[in-house]
Chain A
Amino acid sequence: MEVKTMEFLGIWIAAFLTLAIFSFLYKDNPIYKFAEHLFVGISAGYVLIQELTGTLIPNLYHPLREALLGVSPAKMSRLGALVLGVMILLRFFKKTTWISRWPLALIIGTFAALRMTGYTQSDLIKQINGTMVPLRGQGLPFTSWEGASVINNLILIIGVITVLIYFFFSLEHKAPLKQGALIGTGFLMITFGSSFGYTVLGRVSLLIGCVQDLYIYAERRYGYSSLFCGVGIIIYLVLWEIRNRAKNRTMPTSL
């Protein structure tokens, strides 16, 4: 399959940068540091352009332009956004930092209101609703591996209540609260254990994805880029390590 020159160059760059990051597993070294700082710079530049094209141009520039041209006069209200936007940029300078408090107050007020209502509806009411499950009748089986059953529903209710008891600090954890909190701890340990299991799954998947890419980069059509970059980085690390050890030997030892 024919590969274009720019794609070929891009694959070599990608292979080199991937392996440069992996070189950190040996030790923090100049190649890793270069890749890390490149990542910071490219990310920052990327974010700026995306904010420009994603929000500022469609939601600020175009509406104001339409308002000024008389196409949609109502959009002149977007001038308020421009003013507040300039005010937040003034945070850049020490003397004018206080001006940014107004737009920050707008953001924080909006976030607080939206989060409060969102959490109440979704995380509080709906979750409490979901805990009100039947313990008998309605054709409910006694046990099941998946789905509702008498045992599963009972464990769910006990689990939710005891975990909430564990986090209730307004009263001292004496019996019966103490026993409730103890059971709650057990449920929390199972929760954290499951999260640990899934975290391992997730992290390993990220590595697998990277290695899959390296296998693709090592194909003949891309000039075995992963292999050459890998060997090159290993040679560099060996030489760098030899140089460092030589430098340490020649340095005077302290008394």
Chain B
Amino acid sequence: MQNVKLEREMKSGGLDKRWIFLAVGALVLAFLKLPLHLSYAPNQKTLGVYKAIEGLPSGSIVYLSADYGPSSKAELLPMHRALVYHILNRDLKIIASSVWDSGPPLIDMVFKEVCEELKKQGKEKKYGIDYVNLGYKSGQDVAIAKIGTSIPETFPRDYLGTSVNQIPLMNGVINFSQIGLLCNLSVGSPGARQWLQQVQTRYKVRMVAGVTAVMAPDLYSFYQSRQIEGFLGGLVGAAEYEYLLKRPGFAMSGMNVQSLTHFLILGFVLLGNILFVSEILRQRKAKEMKSTST
């Protein structure tokens, strides 16, 4: 038992992983409120999302599919808030839905928060006229394909149980021909890729996305092929969007400690490799000494 423990310690460079956990935790706790005045330079992908919404004529409808849950709310909730604020502030309309079961309460929560904020600025937004939450639909790719075919057939009732025929915003909305922009927030599958496959490419819909950082590298190919006009990648993307809207929020406040934690992790990688190289050199030296002595 002792030999196994020794071997494991040697492989990890003699460092209990809990010290690493402590270092990360302490850094985040200590520096979260650190007022580092960092500069932002939103990239073309973030600007693409901003310009897509800015360029919509007043009264246009944006279809927002919030396909994420509480597990990724740290990354997606800030961009969800920023996007909904931007859309409603420009007097555009939102039809929101989700193909993730944990999406609708988050949609509800964001609408409530943003509408309260806009009310304080003198802009009253009404449910059913300016925005609507159609709720959740199971079926993943099938649900998305069905939404593309007919929105009222897929969602005969909204999240509150009201028939869509009685909702003024849904008057005349049948499919994506009446939608100005598709905006998808997603963390995995079903998500942006499925919306691209089942709706955007089939019906040539204008689309932007907000995804977690893990998903972002995939979307660069779709951005290059102009299937999406722009996307926000992770908390950094959300921070850049908040910066563009001049509306600092959770995303921007998290960037300081995000930056420092990256350097800490790179430091761990460097330290691990230094220990690895020194171990190899030590073993080589030991081998040489053994061969010269024999």
Is there direct touching of A and B in the complex, by C-beta distance under 8 Å? yes
Interface residues, chain A, CB within 8 Å of chain B? Answer: 25-26, 46-47, 50-51, 53-55, 57-59, 62-63, 107, 110-111, 114-115, 118-119, 121-123, 126-127, 129-130, 146-147, 156, 191, 194-195, 198-202, 204-212, 215
For B247-265 the 0/1 string (1 means CB < 8 A from A) is: 0001001100110011001
* Contact sample, A vs B, 24 pairs, CB 8 Å cutoff: A46-B101, A46-B102, A50-B136, A54-B136, A59-B137, A59-B156, A110-B142, A118-B145, A119-B197, A122-B197, A126-B225, A127-B221, A127-B225, A146-B43, A195-B214, A202-B234, A205-B213, A205-B235, A205-B236, A206-B72, A207-B24, A212-B32, A212-B254, A215-B33
Cβ of A56 to closest chain B Cβ, rounded Å: 9
B-side contacts of A207, CB under 8 Å: 24, 28, 74, 261
B-side contacts of A208, CB under 8 Å: 28, 32, 74, 235, 254, 257-258, 261
For B275-288 the 0/1 string (1 means CB < 8 A from A) is: 00000000000000
Cβ of A235 to closest chain B Cβ, rounded Å: 18
B-side contacts of A26, CB under 8 Å: 18
A-side contacts of B58, CB under 8 Å: none
Cβ of B156 to closest chain A Cβ, rounded Å: 5
Which secondary structure dominates chain A's binding surface?
A: helix
For B115-157 the 0/1 string (1 means CB < 8 A from A) is: 0000000000000000000011111111001000000000111
Cβ of A175 to closest chain B Cβ, rounded Å: 29
> Which residue on chain A has the smallest CB distance to residue B153?
A59
B-side contacts of A127, CB under 8 Å: 221, 225
CA distance A115 to B234 in the complex (A): 27
- Tell whether B104 is near chain A: CB-to-CB under 8 Å: yes
Interface residues, chain B, CB within 8 Å of chain A? Answer: 18, 21, 24-25, 28-29, 32-33, 43-44, 71-75, 77, 101-102, 104, 135-142, 145, 155-157, 161, 193-194, 196-198, 200-202, 212-214, 216-217, 221, 224-227, 233-236, 250, 253-254, 257-258, 261-262, 265
| Most chain A Cβ neighbours within 10 Å, of B21, B217, B253 | B217
B-side contacts of A199, CB under 8 Å: 213-214
Which secondary structure dominates chain B's binding surface?
A: helix
CA distance A25 to B21 in the complex (A): 7
Report the 10 A-B pairs with minimum CB-CB distance, sorted nearest first.
A209-B74, A130-B225, A118-B197, A202-B213, A54-B136, A205-B235, A50-B101, A122-B201, A58-B157, A201-B213
B-side contacts of A205, CB under 8 Å: 74-75, 213, 234-236, 254, 258
A-side contacts of B216, CB under 8 Å: 198
B-side contacts of A147, CB under 8 Å: 44
Assess the A114–B145 pair: CB atoms within 8 A.
yes
| Most chain A Cβ neighbours within 10 Å, of B25, B33, B156, B194 | B156
> Which residue on chain B has the smallest CB distance to residue A152?
B224
Assess the A111–B262 pair: CB atoms within 8 A.
no
Assess the A130–B221 pair: CB atoms within 8 A.
yes
Assess the A25–B214 pair: CB atoms within 8 A.
no
Residue in A46, A54, A198 whose CB lies within 8 Å of B135: A54
- Please judge, given known A-B contacts A198-B214, A205-B254, whether A146 and B44 are in contact too, CB under 8 Å: yes
B-side contacts of A51, CB under 8 Å: 101, 138
Residue in A110, A195, A212 whose CB lies within 8 Å of B250: A212
- Please judge, given known A-B contacts A126-B225, A201-B235, whether A54 and B137 are in contact too, CB under 8 Å: yes
> Which residue on chain B has the smallest CB distance to residue A194?
B217
A-side contacts of B155, CB under 8 Å: 58
Assess the B101–A54 pair: CB atoms within 8 A.
yes
Assess the B214–A202 pair: CB atoms within 8 A.
yes
B-side contacts of A110, CB under 8 Å: 142
Residue in B21, B44, B212, B253 whose CB lies within 8 Å of A202: B212
CA distance A37 to B137 in the complex (A): 27
Residue in A115, A191, A201 whose CB lies within 8 Å of B236: A201
Cβ of A22 to closest chain B Cβ, rounded Å: 8
Residue in B21, B28, B156, B214 whose CB lies within 8 Å of A63: B156
B-side contacts of A156, CB under 8 Å: 224
Assess the B75–A58 pair: CB atoms within 8 A.
no
B-side contacts of A204, CB under 8 Å: 258, 261-262, 265
CA distance A195 to B75 in the complex (A): 16
Assess the A211–B28 pair: CB atoms within 8 A.
yes
Cβ of B284 to closest chain A Cβ, rounded Å: 26
CA distance A122 to B192 in the complex (A): 12
Not counting A54-B101, A198-B213, A209-B74, a sample of 6 additional A-B residue pairs whose C-beta atoms are within 8 angstroms of each other reads: A55-B136, A146-B44, A191-B217, A204-B258, A212-B250, A212-B253
